[in-house]
Amino acid sequence: MSASYMKMGSHFRFLSLCLLALVASTHAQLQLGFYAKSCPKAEQIILKFVHEHIHNAPSLAAALIRMHFHDCFVRGCDGSVLLNSTTNQAEKNAPPNLTVRGFDFIDRIKSLVEVECPGVVSCADILTLAARDSIVATGGPFWKVPTGRRDGVVSILEEARNNIPAPFNNITTLQTLFANQGLDLKDLVLLSGAHTIGVAHCSSLSNRLFNFTGKGDQDPSLDSEYAENLKTFKCKDINKLNITKIEMDPGSRKTFDLDYYRQVIKRRGLFESDAALLNNSVTKAQIIELLQGSVENFFAEFANSIEKMGSIKVKTGTEGEIRKHCAFVNS
């Protein structure tokens, strides 16, 4: 065998190894303890901050899991919901995100992690971990969070408007929006279960209460006694619907439990999207099955679905970047 042939073969093998390394780095998978060597205290810093502050504002647990949900449904779980826009055209400027809270909370965690390990831990991972830790800290389910997400560099208002499920969506639209993210009807039911600790503004159900078909009528799928109670005691001032908040799981809002599903079965789910879960035989059967089971079973099922959601279209390896500040792409 000639020397030139051998040299050509070794050169080819070197190129092949380089190509394999490139492919591997671009399509690297999330893994538990991704920062074990590069920033071993990262998850501990996030957990400590959550535990120190969440009990002063327990409603932030619902806010953070909502932010995580909204982030993952647009360009995957890449922290793009955190980005600011000088022209107000980012995801956070879209109607579904105007009531999202917790941006400052994430920024404060990021600043602490940056002091420990500059440029190592992504905002996408910080958001995902903080959402999980806040739910656990307030008595909700634990789920595994593999890390290694990279931060996206694009954030577009219209994409958020078109991809995030809305309170007025029917079951067909909900199924489509979830399927677009690789989630099924079971995931829809289980992730809706986070409404057990949620609050809503009266404006998000004003049509159901006051003008469902444009004739000053009420949504017939909403329990009439409950609707009357809402109009009389909760959403009574038409001029303050945008600022008046209401519990999504009355009497049990601070507890992550099955009561949300009991409300839905009684036709007392606040949103049209909650009521829509009864309009499909699969989703309705899922709710009944959950109610026949234990809270522990619900926690385990919820964990499966949110772990699945947390892996939607993630950027890993050499994709995206590690932002220095969560609200801005690196210059």
Please report which residue ranges of 56-168 form alpha helices under DSSP H. 60-72, 103-116, 123-137, 157-163
Residue 128 is labelled as binding a ligand: no
Residue 43 labelled as part of a binding site: no
Residue 237 counted as an annotated binding residue: no
CA nearest neighbour of 64 among 156, 150, 126, 154 = 126
Report the Cα–Cα distance between both ends of the chain, in Å, rounded: 52
To the query of whether residue 70 is one of the catalytic residues in this protein, the response is: yes
Among the options 11, 51, 55, 70, which is catalytic? 70
Element (H, E) at 232: none
Residue 184 is assigned to a ligand binding site: no
Residue 249 annotated as lining a ligand binding site: yes
User: Is 325 labelled as part of a ligand binding site?
Assistant: no
305: enclosing H helix or E strand: helix 295-309
Distances (CA, A) of 260 to 2, 166, 205: 75, 18, 16
- With residue 331 as reference, give the H or E element that holds it: none
232 is annotated as contributing to ligand binding:
no
Q: Is 219 annotated as a binding residue?
A: no
- The whole-angstrom separation of Cα 54 and Cα 233 is 29
Q: Which two tokens stand for residue 100?
A: 């999202």
Instruction: Please report, for residues 2, 16, 17, 327, the alpha-carbon distance to residue 7 in angstroms, rounded to integers and kept in the order given.
Output: 9, 14, 15, 50
Is 133 annotated in some ligand binding site? no
SS3 content of the chain, % helix, strand, coil (to 5): 55, 5, 40
For CA atoms 145, 149, 151, 152, the dihedral sign is negative
Structure tokens at 299: 């926690």
**Exposure of 236 in the CB half-sphere (CA atoms within 13 A):** 5
Q: Is 76 annotated as a binding residue?
A: yes
Residues belonging to the binding site for Ca(2+) are: 71, 74, 76, 78, 80, 91, 196, 249, 257
Residues belonging to the binding site for substrate are: 165
Residues belonging to the binding site for heme b are: 195
Residues with a catalytic annotation lie at: 70
Residues belonging to the binding site are: 71, 74, 76, 78, 80, 91, 165, 195-196, 249, 257
